[in-house]
Every structure is written in structure tokens, then in C-alpha cells.
Amino acid sequence: MKALFKTDDSWPGLILRLTLGLVMFPHGAQKLLGWYGGFGFSGTMGFFTDMMHLPWIIAFLVIIGEFFGSLVLLVGFLTRFSAASLAVIMAGAIVTTHISHGFFMNWFGKQQGEGYEYHLLVIGLGLALLMTGAGKWSVDRLIAEKVER
């Protein structure tokens, strides 16, 4: 328990988790709720299972992980678990979809798909949070203080 929640009262953890949470929230909301032009839960499940041939449990975990993982990062709860989950999801996205399109995002519409540079940034933020913890103003910090007593 201590290792999962332990964090200091520093700014880097706060900045990392707010950045990752804010960047991932719209992606999760697209997949779960259909916001921001997304397909919603049913459409995303169908795409992942029918078109990409992912097992339903993997598709479900990606949707739930991106949406709820981003929310819990914003409050700093289960930060290490959520950050690791998002890093794994992005590694999976690189391997299954984006590596064949190269490194760069499709800024000018000249590629068939998006490259993996964005995904590497998410992995980097996730790994940094694994090491630092949630930082300032986090639920993890409150829990860690209770566990230490």
C-alpha cells in the first residue's frame, strides 16, 4: 500500500498528472461517451473488436482505462496505477496501429494514418509519474499520510 500511494509534496508530480489527465480525458470521452466527435462506447467496442480484432476485454479495458484513468489522475488517486495503465494502452496503440505510419503525426494529411509521436509522449509522462507519484494536492498523498500513521 505504501509504495502505491507514496508521493512527496512537489510540483512536478502535480504538473505531470494534470497534463496527462487533461490530454487523455478527451480521448477517453470520445471512446466512452461519444464526445468530441467520438463513436461512444458501442461504436468504439465495435471498431476495436470487429475491425481491429481485439478481444472484447482488451477493448473494454482501453475505453475504461482512458476515461476513468484520466479522471483519477486529475485528482491524484491511484496515480501510479493509472499512469502505468495509460502507458500500456499507448504502447498497444503503437504496436497495433501507429508504427506502420512512422513517427510523425499526420499534420498535413499526406499520410494514411497518424504516427506514434503523441503516444511516446503519453508513455513518457506515465513513466515519469510511476517514479514521482502524484505530488501536490493529491488524494494519494492524503492516503499515504494516513497509511504512515
| pTM of the entire predicted model | 0.93
Question: Which pLDDT does position 135 carry in this prediction?
Answer: 96
Residue 4 CA to residue 77 CA, distance in Å, equals 10
List Cβ neighbours of 88 (8 Å cut-off, separation of 6 or more): none
CA–CA dist 22, 8 (Å, integer):
21
The pLDDT tens digits for 5-29 are 999 999 999 999 999 999 999 999 9
Render pLDDT for 100-122 as a digit per residue (tens, 0 to 9): 999 999 989 888 899 999 999 99
